[in-house]
């Protein structure tokens, strides 16, 4: 019975507080390319990154908790004042699996307001696949006193196995200088509908993002302070987080983040001399879910290189903007 109560509380919590469809990330300052097509090519180098997140570890003994992976690569096309990018993501949550792939194009304007600045205006086009498995373990089979686990209860409101694919589109603008960045974007512009057997399966909801970060010079030039904010909303619920990282000699860094009403996040990472970046974040859950999980863990790996010059350093080869 305790497991049944736990499951019901978790579902209510997820439905009311985190009803947004797009996956959640903590290392958003390293994940611009996934959420904002205007970012493509603005770094001036060819950059690739992969991010993996295991949310609410220990939830339901590790079954059904959100697991997200995203890969993206983007590059400038300087002769056409533009950039291109590719994003692939996979997001699993309980009986639902989501897979998407998007191609991005950004037109880049330079020296807007500040010498050396760049403004990318981007559009992404792709596909979004959602699959549902109604045989996923539900509260009845979580109860040890229920019938045999060999035949788990199947919710009649959920198709046993069904998958649908829709066309997807996003838009974004990303502005950067040597000292700051500001990005605004929106995903699922068309709010495409999935034609499942069960008409109650929701369509894609349009999401909106705002991100901004600034480079604060420290008295000791070997140290850099990078505060940033990240806002995500679907016009029904909103997530807001504030972040701060301290970077030493442009390589090792550590920081803290607070996502209001959800988690305190401890972050650390390192950027090698040839622009290989690693980052790790651990969410200490402060919401109700903290009683039923062991927090969330996120890992990012990235690499930037300048193909035209044949080496890995670039004009923006700093951990601040990779």
Model confidence at 125: pLDDT above 60: yes
Q: Where are the domains of the chain?
A: 2-305
pLDDT category, 160, cuts 50, 70, 90?
Answer: low
Categorize the per-residue pLDDT at 5 as very low, low, confident or very high, splitting at 50, 70 and 90.
very low
Which of the four pLDDT bands, split at 50, 70 and 90, describes residue 294? confident
Work out the average pLDDT over 173-192. 95
Instruction: Compute the mean pLDDT over every residue in the chain, rounded to the nearest whole number.
Output: 82
Q: Which residues contact 299 (CB under 8 A, 6 or more apart)?
A: 51, 52, 53, 278, 279, 280, 281
pLDDT of res. 313: 42
Q: pLDDT, tens digit, for every residue of 224-250?
A: 999 999 999 998 899 999 999 999 999
Higher pLDDT, 21 or 46: 46
Confidence of residue 99 (pLDDT cuts 50, 70, 90): very high
Question: What is the C-alpha to C-alpha distance for residues 30 and 117, in angstroms, rounded to an integer?
Answer: 19
Per-residue 3-state assignment (H helix, E strand, C coil) for the chain = CHHHHHHHHHHHHHHHHCCCCCCCCCCHHHCHHHHCHHHCCCCCCEEEEEEEEECCCCHHHHCCCCEEEEEEEEEEEHHHCEEEEEEEEEEEECCEEEEEEEEEEEEEEECCCCCCCEEEEEEEEEEEEEEEECCCCCHHHHCCCCCCCCCCCCCCCCCCEEEEEEEEEEEEEEEECCCEEEEEEEECCCCCCCCCCCCCCCCCCCEEEEEEEECEECCCCCEEEEEEEEEEECCCCEEEEEEEEEEECCCEEEEEEEECCCEEEEEEEEECCCCEEEEEEEEEECCHHHHCCCCEEEEEEEEEEECCCCECCCCCCCCCCC
Stretch 66-73: mean pLDDT: 93
pLDDT in tens, 12-32: 344 334 456 788 899 999 999
pLDDT higher than 60, residue 314: no
Domain 2-305 is found in CATH 3.40.50.620 = no
**Cα torsion angle, 39, 41, 42, 48, sign:** positive
> Percentage of residues in the chain with pLDDT exceeding 90?
56
Question: Where is average pLDDT lowest: 73-82, 86-95, 129-138, 237-246?
Answer: 129-138
pLDDT at 310 over 80: no
**pLDDT class for 167, splitting at 50, 70, 90?**
very high
The mean pLDDT value for 262-273 works out to: 94
307 against 242, higher pLDDT: 242
Q: What is the pLDDT of residue 60?
A: 56
* 321 pLDDT above the threshold of 50: no
């Amino acid at each position: 019975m305790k497991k049944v109560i736990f499951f019901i509380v978790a579902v209510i919590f997820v439905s009311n507080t985190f009803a947004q469809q797009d996956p959640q990330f903590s290392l958003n300052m390293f994940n611009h390319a996934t959420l904002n097509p205007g970012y493509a090519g603005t770094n001036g180098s060819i950059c690739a990154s992969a991010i993996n997140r295991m949310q609410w570890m220990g939830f339901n003994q590790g079954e059904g908790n959100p697991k997200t992976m995203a890969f993206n690569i983007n590059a400038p096309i300087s002769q056409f004042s533009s950039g291109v990018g590719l994003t692939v993501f996979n997001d699993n949550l309980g009986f639902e699996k989501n897979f998407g792939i998007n191609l991005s194009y950004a037109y880049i304007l330079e020296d807007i307001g500040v010498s050396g600045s760049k403004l990318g205006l981007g559009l992404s086009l792709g596909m979004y696949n959602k699959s549902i498995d109604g045989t996923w373990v539900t509260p009845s089979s979580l109860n040890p006193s229920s019938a045999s686990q060999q035949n788990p209860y199947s919710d009649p409101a959920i198709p046993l196995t069904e998958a649908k694919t829709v066309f997807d589109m996003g838009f974004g603008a990303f502005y950067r200088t040597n000292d700051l960045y500001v990005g605004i974007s929106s995903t699922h512009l068309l709010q495409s509908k999935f034609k499942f057997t069960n008409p109650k399966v929701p369509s894609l909801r349009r999401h909106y993002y705002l991100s901004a970060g600034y480079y604060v010079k420290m008295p000791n030039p070997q140290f850099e302070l990078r505060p940033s904010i990240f806002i995500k909303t679907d016009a029904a619920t909103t997530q807001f987080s504030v972040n701060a990282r301290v970077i030493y000699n442009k390589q090792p860094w550590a920081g803290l983040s607070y996502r209001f009403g959800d988690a305190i996040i401890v972050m650390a990472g390192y950027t090698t001399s040839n622009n290989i970046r690693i980052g790790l974040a651990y969410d200490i859950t402060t919401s109700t879910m903290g009683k039923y999980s062991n927090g969330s863990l996120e890992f990012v790996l990235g690499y930037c290189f300048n193909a035209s010059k044949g080496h890995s350093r670039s004009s923006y080869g700093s951990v601040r903007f990779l």
